[in-house]
Amino acid sequence: MSARTWPERSSLERSVCASILLKALQGLHGVCLGMELEKEGKRPTTAQYQRAMQNAERALATVNGSAA
């Protein structure tokens, strides 16, 4: 994605950005819901949490045009 403002992007670019962000948000949401589980053994691991955070960071970088 190029570093253009949201209004400057085409409908296709906006759709791709929305899809990338949605997938990252779904991952974070799943981890957050898992943290609420009563049984500690069923809660997400630190590695799962960190992976969800990294995925979200990459998604934001991609849609903001700063990803490699």
**Predicted confidence band of residue 68 (pLDDT cuts 50, 70, 90):** very low
* Tens digit of each residue's pLDDT (9 = 90 or more) over 9-38: 889 988 999 999 999 999 999 999 999 999
Q: pTM to 2 decimals?
A: 0.78
Which residues touch 42 (CB under 8 Å, ≥6 apart)?
A: 34
What is the average pLDDT across 42-59?
A: 95
Cα dist from 40 to 16, 35, 44, 45, whole Å: 36, 8, 9, 10
